[in-house]
Structure 1
Amino acid sequence: MQRVDVIPSLVLSGYALGRIAAQDAGNDAPAAQWRVLSLLDQNGSRRVGELAAASRTTQPGMTRLIGGLEREGLVLRSPDPEDSRAIVVDITPRGSQELSAWREEFRDTLAPRFADLVDEDWAALTRAAEILAAHTTTEPTGALR
């Protein structure tokens, strides 16, 4: 595999693993729900527009999604303390618990697919996960070679 193909391959494999885990676990909650809860869990409260941009959806679409999450008690909307015209969204303790349970469900569902890996493979995946995590929280520094 060429260097320029590695990152796209990892991204596509990640999407595939997410779909497989959702299907195998019978989890019918929309992926957008988990994406929003993850963003709030990792980054703290956010405006609806920020969540829409981060999720690559429209603000009206995000407002509908947030409304459903709020009805389920997973998020809480409140006025932005810096601009009372804007709304910020926070994850609730129940939302954090549901997100944790979803992550555990996915981990347990996917575990059998990786049961045959040897220590060297686990070391490679662990290092890849560390690299990906480090590069998803920073600005790009250069082009692939």
Structure 2
Amino acid sequence: MQRSDVIPSIVLSAYALGRIAAQDAGNEAPAAQWRVLSLLGRQGATRVGELAAAARATQPGMTRLIGALERDGLVRRSPDPADSRAVVVETTEAGAQALASWRDEFRDTLAPRFHALDDADWAALARAAEILTAHTDPTGSTDRKDSAQ
């Protein structure tokens, strides 16, 4: 087995954890809402088209989602300082608080599934989280190694 064969397992497990957490917590908000708030939390003010591409959504679909998030007070739209014809979206304080609460809720919901892990397992998960975060940097500024086989 090649090293990179673990990547699909990580991706599928991450999706499963997200679904399980939402179901077990009774969180009925669309996953796309949390994806958008997470993206905005990581990269700051972003154009709608860039958000759509990052979230793998259509631009009209993203525009509708942003409209709903704006009505709920979770994001705000403003003119792009670099191009007054374009609009950027950013989280509001309420959006940042909702995202933090969502993360806390999902952590607390999933924690019992991991209660039997020992310190070595927690260290391995912490390191895996660091690696995944570094290699999913939306700015693309991480130093990626091409040596994984």
The TM-score, its normalising length taken from structure 2, stands at 0.92
User: Amino acid of the residue matched to residue 70 of structure 1?
Assistant: E
Task: Tell me the distance in 2 between the aligned counterparts of 1:2 and 1:21.
Answer: 30
Task: Tell me the distance in 2 between the aligned counterparts of 1:60 and 1:23.
Answer: 27
Secondary structure of the residue that 1:144 maps to in structure 2? coil
Q: More displaced, 131-140 or 14-23?
A: 131-140
Residue correspondence of structure 1 range 54-133 to structure 2 within 5 A? 54-133=54-133
Task: Tell me the distance in 2 between the aligned counterparts of 1:4 and 1:100.
Answer: 32
Correspondence 1:49 to 2:58: no
Q: Which residue of 2 aligns with 1:12?
A: 12
User: Amino acid of the residue matched to residue 53 of structure 2?
Assistant: A
Any stretches of 5+ residues in structure 1 without a counterpart? Answer: none
Cα deviation for residue 36 of structure 1 reads: 0.5
Q: More displaced, 121-130 or 22-31?
A: 121-130
Cα deviation for residue 143 of structure 1 reads: 5.9
Correspondence 1:24 to 2:24: yes
Cα deviation for residue 2 of structure 1 reads: 4.4
Task: Tell me the distance in 2 between the aligned counterparts of 1:81 and 1:124.
Answer: 42
Task: Tell me the distance in 1 between the aligned counterparts of 2:4 and 2:98.
Answer: 37
Cα deviation for residue 10 of structure 1 reads: 0.8
Task: Rate the CA distance shift 1:23–1:53 in 2: closer, same or farther, 3 A.
Answer: same
User: Amino acid of the residue matched to residue 71 of structure 1?
Assistant: R
Overall identity of the aligned pairs, in %? 73
Cα deviation for residue 4 of structure 1 reads: 2.5
Any stretches of 5+ residues in structure 2 without a counterpart? Answer: none
Cα deviation for residue 100 of structure 1 reads: 0.4
